[in-house]
Amino acid sequence: MEYVSKKEITYKEPLVITGFPGIGLVGSIASYHLLKNLKLEYVGYIEDPKLPEIMIVEEGIAYPPVRVYARDDLVVFFSDVMIPPELIYSMSNMISDRLKELNPKMVVTLEGFASMNPEKSFWVSSSEDILNSILDEDTPALQLGMVGGIPGALIKCCNDRDIPAACLITETVGLRPDPRGASKIIENLNKKYNLDADTEELIKEAENIEEKMKSLAKEHAKLMSKPKTENPMYM
């Protein structure tokens, strides 16, 4: 596994955000929206023979599935694909080694947390000092649960290298892509790190998805309420 640089940037203790596919895709949606809304530059990608052999096409240009976008004070890792379980540890270590060179002020991994009534966000860290430094009344510590995949492994690997890192977890229904949950993540990051990223587009997308889901539910209810004809093949 290796990081392939496409453009060099002189970093100034950047904030690092990682968004990999997970529950509700909130991390992926939030990170993709950030890199687009803040107009970050494509600076590199992660390559490994065990990653899915696909290229992602945007406006005619093909990109590897696990990419990095940045400006001097912000770095975003983004993936279009699920990371195979056998690559999670090696990728987390490789990213952590790369981040050590950048001297980031904080690494924030993004994740979703399944809930029937999604409302809240929580912080998790493998360092008590870091956790205490980022908590506020709107985003408390997660009291009990699990953080898996890249988000969990990365905060552990960063802590091993004395890199400040935490996971921002947002509740989501988890049954479909959740742009509303992603907007909550961005609003939290805006407040904590002054990113000034607009979430209006995500809210509109969420409303569209919710309207479609309501329409499908109504159609399903109509179908279920129709009287059934016994033995419909026979008259």
Q: What is the DSSP string of 167-182?
A: EEEEEE--SS--HHHH
Coil vs helix vs strand at 215:
helix
61 three-class SS: strand
Find the mean pLDDT for residues 193-201: 89
Q: For 138-168, how does the pLDDT look when each residue is reduced to its tens digit (9 = 90+)?
A: 899 998 888 889 999 999 999 999 999 999 9
The whole-number pLDDT of residue 124 equals 94
Sign of CA dihedral 147, 66, 86, 159: negative
Strands 41-47 and 66-71: antiparallel
**pLDDT single digits (tens) 54-67:** 999 989 999 999 99
73-128 pLDDT per residue, tens: 999 999 999 999 999 999 999 999 999 999 999 999 999 988 877 788 999 998 89
Report whether pLDDT(221) > 70: no
The DSSP letter of residue 227 is: P
Q: Which domains, from first to last, does the chain contain?
A: 2-225 (3.40.50.10900)
What is the rounded CA–CA span in Å between residue 166 and residue 41? 24
The structure tokens 């990081």 sit at: 3
Task: Kindly report the pTM of this predicted structure.
Answer: 0.86
Choose among 32, 48, 30, 49: nearest CA to 40.
32
Pairing verdict, β 66-71 and 74-79: antiparallel
Q: How many CB atoms lie within 10 A of CB 63?
A: 15
Asked whether the beta carbons of 178 and 26 are under 8 A apart, the reply is yes
Q: Give 235's pLDDT tier (boundaries 50, 70, 90).
A: very low
Q: How far apart are CA 30 and CA 185, in angstroms?
A: 7
